[in-house]
Structure 1
Amino acid sequence: MRVLDLTDPLGAAGARALVGIGADVLRVDPGGDSGGDDLAARTHWHAGKRRVPSGDLDALAAEADVVLESGPVDTLRGIGPGGVSRWPDAVHVVVTPFGLTGPRCAWRGDDLVLASAGGMTWLGGRPDGPPRPPPFGAAYGLAGAHAATAALLGLLARDRTGQGQLVDVSAQEAVAATLETGAITWIHAGRVPGRTGGVYEHVAHRVFPARSGFVAGGWSGSERMWTDLLAWLVEESEAEDLTDARWSDPLVRWLERAHVDAVVARFVARRSAATVAAEGRRRALPWAEVVAPARLTGNPQLRARGFFRTVRDPALPGGAVEDVGVAWSPAPTPCLDALGDAPAEQPWRQERRARRPRPGRRPLDGVRVLDLTWVLAGPYATRQLAEHGADVIKVESVHRQDPTRFAPSMHLRPGADPDDSGYFLNVNRGKRSVALNLRTPRGVELLRRLVPHCDVVIENFSPGTLARWGLDAASLQERHPGVLLVSMAGLGATGPWRDAVTFADTLAAMAGLTDATREPGGPPQGLTFGLGDMVAANAAVLATLTMLAQGRGGHVDLAQLEAMAATVGPEVVRAALGEPEPPSAGGVHRAAGEDRWVAVAASGADRRLRDVTGDTDLATWLACRDPLDAATVLQAAGVPAAPVATGRDLVEHDEHLAARGFYPVLDHPVAGPVRHEGVVARLAATPAVVERPAPLLGEHTAEVLGGLLGLGDAELADLRAAGVTT
């Protein structure tokens, strides 16, 4: 795959991901490489690319499969009048702050502004302080990840249609699709989640101070998470009153969470963070030490899996530096050269291999996915596949309950039941549900029989689970040669920590993200939404699309930790080089109204800002102004700014998202008409379709088992009576 890279920092993560899957990426400098004078950032973002002269862009684009372009709309070089691509034969992926259409398409935004406009900033920070965005360019990273998957979707669509197309990726929408419960709590419960200082609202996890350092962990999830933690406390004679019978009721524990957390906090405070994390891993409990990015290279799990790679560059001290790898690669590269000039004699391309046109127009029409995932990371990945045409068969059970369907804390709306859980509805739309009791031999056999009818199997169980069902990678290949198995365990299928149990917060702690949520002089707070889950999900989608585009089966062993650690690369390189953190311009400022804020990407020394505020300092100028009015005035003056949006703001009051139709309504048989988060990758010629709500539990059991396996009514009735199906 030949990629022409016309990105600025907004799309840099997308180009790096394409390098990681083996693309030949030609970098055309858009007037200053991403990272500016930041050596660490330049080294990280551009290793493995080749620099080419920017003289004749049309000739370069004519020889490219994908043109990846990013930046404010008025700076784009490949978009002509009327929003038409200048290079219609290529898959032209364009990443802009707010999209190519809509009333705010001309608005500008850096990472802070986009994290705020998309709803992530609101979720961070303490209740008594300003909202805080996630660290390390999370908004840029999400936009880039969706751009990379959009490139693969466009190539798969080109195989069907023989045509290139324009793909519109809005960074604001990439963020707004990644809030976990940030917006859907408003949709389903009419409530806006507040800032909690790092305490999760819907799972009993948080950051606890240890005798030395900090740990992330908790006691939500399966009942075993509680019983085994309690057993640990009892062994150490530190359970206090938690052995009383009343605490065996999960609802009591949830309602009186503050007391349980206090007992656990006292237990953790008597031990070092490393001790708690190590013993937690040994007991298969979700606990992890909070580490700084500089310590990532010492992680034995990442080391054992060959995650890191060396970037060679004569300009670097010693000629090389160790960097993180990518979220997923089909063939990890231990060494890469820094950005260098392409040889003049380099042939521009090899002949594209001929492909037989396939029926259907959407990129994944005709692809069937067996979805064995649960909770968030896996379902968010398979949801994206369904949007672009895949037939996703979700296998679930009342015996191994997905908490997003069954846990009351995840129903969001009081009185909801497992069939209209707001959390489940949002990440499982467009799928078919087959309910199998996999504790029975007949249930497992039915699952095995489904495999030959599917092109892709995706799972996020603990390593070894599929093997117990006879569905490990080797067994799957025997049953269905060429099938693609995508595994996305927390730490991967190999390595010394492979059996560790992980949650989003523990992975963020291991990856260096949690440590960066400290306020000056304060403890780390952590992230109160599953950013890491969605980062891992995007990596799983990229891996699936890459293998499908190459026509390959086999086993993708994706580690969610590696997907998250890949986002902190510049910090790892910076630590290795001894470079200071570059200063950041702008921040979040209070505006008029209760708990209303504006993100501004400029400092007081910015001339454009002084032209707006005059002799008044920015804080005073903003304090008496409505957030949207203030942001509008600043944007008109060329200063990137946006209100710090809540979930309610996004769903109810954002005219730009409304104009782009970002919250479509689906009619659910139990919940009724419900708004859902929209699709991020907008393919002009082969658009995604959001038309079917999440399934009821087992809604399609008879349809799938009858249609694919040929089971008749009598056999289906017998399976239901025996408790094998629902």
Structure 2
Amino acid sequence: MASNRSGNGSVPLTPLRGWRVADLSSGIAGGYCTKLLADGGAEVVKLEAPQGDSLRYWTASGTALAPGADGALFAFLAGSKHSVVADPSSDLALVEKVLGESQAVVWTPGSPLAEHPHLSPKEIRRRHPHLVVTTITPFGLDGPWAGRPATEFTLQAWSGGIIGLGRGAPDEPPVHVGGRIGEWFAGAYASAATLTARWRTLGTRAGELCDVSMLETQILGLTYYPVSFYEGLGRAFRTQRRLSVPGVAGAADGMVAVGCGTAQQWFDLCAMVGHPEWIDEGLEAGITETANRKAPEIAEWMAAHPVAVISDLATAFRIPSGPIAHGANAFDLDQHADRGSFTTNPRDGFRQPGPPYRTTPPLLRAPEPAPRLGEHTAHHRSAPPPATANGRAASAREPDPLPFRGLRVLDLTTFWAGPSCTHYLAMLGADVVHVESAQRPDGTRLVAGVPMSEDLWWEQSPIFTGLNTNKRGLTLDFRSDQGREVLRRLVARSDVIVENYTPRVLEQFGLDYDKVRALRADAIMVRMPGFGLTGPWRDNPAFAYVIEDTSGLTWLTGHRDRNPVEPYSIGDPNAGVHALNALLLALEHRRTTGAGVLVEAAMVEAALNVAAEQVIEYSAYGALLERDGNRGPVAAPQNLYRASGADEFGRKDCWIALAVETDDQWDKLVTALGNPEWARVPGLATAAGRRREHDLIDTRLAAWCARHDSDAIIRILWDAGVPVAKVMQPHRQPELPQLESRHFFEPVFHPVLPTARHSTLPVHFSHGPGTFHRSPAPLLGQHNTEILAALGISPDDIATLIDDGTVGGTPEVLKANKP
């Protein structure tokens, strides 16, 4: 893969060059959104009050900063940006100047500038209608919960993501995903939304409001289409917590994760650990039950072998596996070291992740230093207005509600990561052709637990339907010469090709980027391998949990006195939204140059970016960040507390999430509790004191919560201004009035399954569309004839392709996977 410089050594022509973005955000979500835009070449002007962004003074480890020094996380997120300081009480004219000279603004609540009434999103839109205004808020700008107190932790609870996919041990409370992952994921979605609005409004006189809800992004990132599953099949998905077996295990010299996502992988694991006789037991008792019964013996085998030996054996057996990465060892893992996945911060010298995607030709700006506070104030105060971005004149045409109308996308993806990328395009108007085969249908068709004895069992996966609305379906076996010829014709007519096989698969079929470019010179090819197109792990199987393991996301999830717990969710959708960002940059490049692009969006490098704080803290300060159950680095107290009563399954498993981030919120909590004597101890008035006494506070809050049901706790504390949430079962998401108000779910008819509600996008675009789901996910091969005829294939030849099994067919009998 090429570096970020063109062949003659010059700086690449970045797609967003000449596009100015005013940054009125604070915190991780806005900082990461604008970092991705800056990497793409945008001129990001960070507008700060005199005291500066709070991240300038932040270290997750509590390391004291020297006077005038910025925190390392800020230096990472603010790279390549400008800093302009304006006092909200006296210097709004400078802010107005920057806004008037920009084409977009990213806004989050919380900073003195953003909270000024003159700089609310509504006011910015009124005075600057040309701007793309992207807002990132906990619940969105409208709806009954807009403006209510929340933290990333309480949003995980409301989203259903804490219970989510059964994460954690059954004898312990549920456990959240560590590392403030929801903020990073929201930032990546906000960047994609901003680029979408740019695509839609360029060449018009219109701006756009992109209203991003962090609650909705967390639903898409931490839960697995639970509402579609529940309403489509009449049962909830994974309501019981369980530890994965083998999952994360202690090896002789460290920690390693080994996963069994399929029956075949379990069978291979039995052979790997020297117990092939377990295979028959698995068939009789069910794989999960057998694996849990054999867990002590598996753990004993793991503990007797080094990480490298386990990983090598797992690779040979094609079992997903990888070492557990964290801040101290991630640099040295074979794949990351071989690919140069980390770089040096250009200002402060610590190690940081490189870009989350790579391109040929190089489109991304090389990292530039973060600005000192107010470094560019004088320049922007006196500089003349810049030329219109890219020199385009505006016309009076109206922006299209479906901005990707006419874009033809060949979707060679499966499971979750790839389809989530192409689904975004399909929901916004692209013609997406999703290719499967009867021999190898999309993997999400196989995870519904529907018996193969039922008619059309492969059409009854609500997860597949949730990921693939608005797409057309083609079944094509391209292992044959005839199939490869059809595939070449599809490539020749497609603007974008997206695939997420391991690298060797398409290369075996003769469809690397050079072949694609020979068929269509301006094609954009997005490749989404788990670990990249090069390196010693390139052909390793990469399920979401392995990506989480090898990037550091697993390390920060779970309890400190136990092995970490795999999130089992975010690795896939995080890869999808990062690939989407890269694809949108590639479309900008093609729009201005007419040239195609190869995008390499390795899943693990997207994950390394959202886990960046671990590596940054260790490199900058020598501090190894650790998981801490449901506590976090910002709020104190922060935890889950059991409420009275039973859940819908009759279990004493009702929980509320509470997080106090400020002294004012603590005071409100104490008042709501009735001013108990224990809470008025002077030492608890400060965050440092509350952190020291967290165990005491947990004991007192647990006792209070045990006397109240969840609804009463929410009513008492949330109405008082305390960030609190009910830990939701994810299939109950539509019961949240905020989601109902924002129409986040839409009912979708399906010819086999009952009509069920499907999630949409976590952003309201002011130019639409009003409805995201216009047609259900395709039945297997539903559009075969239509698609083949559009390629110029005659009816007789289509019939021949069907007769010889190149297209059409029904899934071959697969081994039953008894989860």
| Kept in 2: contact 1:34–1:41 (CA 8 A) | no
Matches of 1:583 and 1:537, distance apart in 2: 28
- Pairwise mapping of residues 30-429 of structure 1 onto structure 2 (< 5 A)? 32-35=52-55, 37-38=57-58, 39-54=71-86, 55=91, 56-71=94-109, 78-79=119-120, 86-123=127-164, 124-159=167-202, 161-178=204-221, 179-187=223-231, 188-191=233-236, 193-199=238-244, 206-221=247-262, 223=264, 225=265, 228-229=268-269, 231-233=271-273, 238-242=274-278, 244=280, 252-253=286-287, 256-259=290-293, 264-313=298-347, 319-328=348-357, 330=359, 331=363, 335-340=367-372, 341-342=375-376, 344=379, 348-353=385-390, 354=392, 360-407=400-447, 409=449, 417-429=457-469
Tell me the alpha carbon deviations over residues 595-654 of structure 1, each in whole angstroms, 9 at most, x when there is no partner.
222222217962121121133443344333333443344333332222122213313x21
| Kept in 2: contact 1:309–1:336 (CA 8 A) | no
Matches of 1:666 and 1:243, distance apart in 2: 40
| Kept in 2: contact 1:411–1:422 (CA 8 A) | no
CA RMSD of aligned residues (A): 2.9
1:380 offset after TM fit, Å? 1.0
Counterpart AA for 2:260: W
1:3 offset after TM fit, Å? 1.1
| Kept in 1: contact 2:655–2:727 (CA 8 A) | yes
SS in 2 for 1:44: helix
- Pairwise mapping of residues 476-625 of structure 1 onto structure 2 (< 5 A)? 476-527=516-567, 529-551=568-590, 552-578=595-621, 582=633, 584-585=635-636, 586-594=638-646, 595-602=653-660, 606-616=666-676, 617-625=700-708
Alpha carbons of structure 1 residues 268 and 578: separation in structure 2 relative to 1, 3 Å: same
1:221 offset after TM fit, Å? 3.8
**How many pairs align?**
707
Matches of 2:450 and 2:212, distance apart in 1: 29
- 2:743 corresponds to: 661
Matches of 1:446 and 1:682, distance apart in 2: 38
Alpha carbons of structure 1 residues 79 and 603: separation in structure 2 relative to 1, 3 Å: closer
Tell me the alpha carbon deviations over residues 554-601 of structure 1, each in whole angstroms, 9 at most, x when there is no partner.
210111000001112122111122265656422222223232222222
Alpha carbons of structure 1 residues 227 and 162: separation in structure 2 relative to 1, 3 Å: farther
Alpha carbons of structure 1 residues 416 and 215: separation in structure 2 relative to 1, 3 Å: farther
SS in 2 for 1:430: coil
Matches of 1:413 and 1:106, distance apart in 2: 50
Matches of 2:393 and 2:243, distance apart in 1: 50
Matches of 2:338 and 2:107, distance apart in 1: 36
| Kept in 1: contact 2:249–2:563 (CA 8 A) | no
SS in 2 for 1:515: coil
Matches of 2:199 and 2:189, distance apart in 1: 15
Matches of 1:232 and 1:655, distance apart in 2: 50
Matches of 1:499 and 1:360, distance apart in 2: 41
Alpha carbons of structure 1 residues 631 and 326: separation in structure 2 relative to 1, 3 Å: farther
Counterpart AA for 1:17: L
| Kept in 1: contact 2:400–2:767 (CA 8 A) | no
SS in 1 for 2:278: coil
Alpha carbons of structure 1 residues 263 and 193: separation in structure 2 relative to 1, 3 Å: same
1:74 offset after TM fit, Å? 6.5
Matches of 1:650 and 1:88, distance apart in 2: 34
1:17 offset after TM fit, Å? 1.8
Tell me the alpha carbon deviations over residues 321-378 of structure 1, each in whole angstroms, 9 at most, x when there is no partner.
1112232255456643122322616665343233898995422111010000001100
Are residues 1:685 and 2:722 paired?
Answer: no
Matches of 1:520 and 1:43, distance apart in 2: 29
Counterpart AA for 1:258: N
- 2:799 corresponds to: 717
Counterpart AA for 2:584: L
- What TM-score do the two structures reach when normalised by structure 1? 0.90
Counterpart AA for 1:135: G
Matches of 1:262 and 1:440, distance apart in 2: 46
SS in 2 for 1:366: coil
- What TM-score do the two structures reach when normalised by structure 2? 0.81
- 1:316 corresponds to: none
Q: Which runs of 5+ in 1 are unaligned?
A: 314-318
1:110 offset after TM fit, Å? 1.6
Which of 13, 21, 24 is 1:3 aligned to? 21
Q: Which runs of 5+ in 2 are unaligned?
A: 1-18, 59-70, 626-632, 647-652, 677-699, 809-819
1:704 offset after TM fit, Å? 0.9
Alpha carbons of structure 1 residues 129 and 645: separation in structure 2 relative to 1, 3 Å: same
| Kept in 2: contact 1:186–1:647 (CA 8 A) | no
| Kept in 2: contact 1:25–1:50 (CA 8 A) | yes
| Kept in 1: contact 2:41–2:364 (CA 8 A) | no
| Kept in 2: contact 1:387–1:690 (CA 8 A) | yes
SS in 2 for 1:349: coil
| Kept in 2: contact 1:67–1:93 (CA 8 A) | yes
Matches of 1:282 and 1:675, distance apart in 2: 42
- 2:488 corresponds to: 448
User: Equivalent pairs: percent with the same residue?
Assistant: 28
Counterpart AA for 2:163: W
Matches of 1:524 and 1:608, distance apart in 2: 34
Counterpart AA for 1:239: H
Tell me the alpha carbon deviations over residues 116-141 of structure 1, each in whole angstroms, 9 at most, x when there is no partner.
12221223432222222111111111
Tell me the alpha carbon deviations over residues 427-457 of structure 1, each in whole angstroms, 9 at most, x when there is no partner.
1111100001122211111011111111000
| Kept in 2: contact 1:490–1:561 (CA 8 A) | yes
Matches of 1:89 and 1:714, distance apart in 2: 54
Alpha carbons of structure 1 residues 162 and 217: separation in structure 2 relative to 1, 3 Å: farther
Matches of 2:708 and 2:263, distance apart in 1: 48
Tell me the alpha carbon deviations over residues 264-298 of structure 1, each in whole angstroms, 9 at most, x when there is no partner.
44432321223212332355431111122221111
Matches of 2:528 and 2:547, distance apart in 1: 13
Which of 666, 674, 690 is 2:756 aligned to? 674
Counterpart AA for 1:96: T
| Kept in 1: contact 2:270–2:276 (CA 8 A) | no
SS in 2 for 1:57: helix
Matches of 1:60 and 1:22, distance apart in 2: 18
SS in 1 for 2:748: strand
| Kept in 2: contact 1:180–1:530 (CA 8 A) | yes
| Kept in 1: contact 2:498–2:527 (CA 8 A) | yes
Identify the range of structure 1 (76-85 vs 365-374) with the bigger mean alpha-carbon deviation. 76-85
Alpha carbons of structure 1 residues 676 and 440: separation in structure 2 relative to 1, 3 Å: same
1:320 offset after TM fit, Å? 1.9
- 1:471 corresponds to: 511
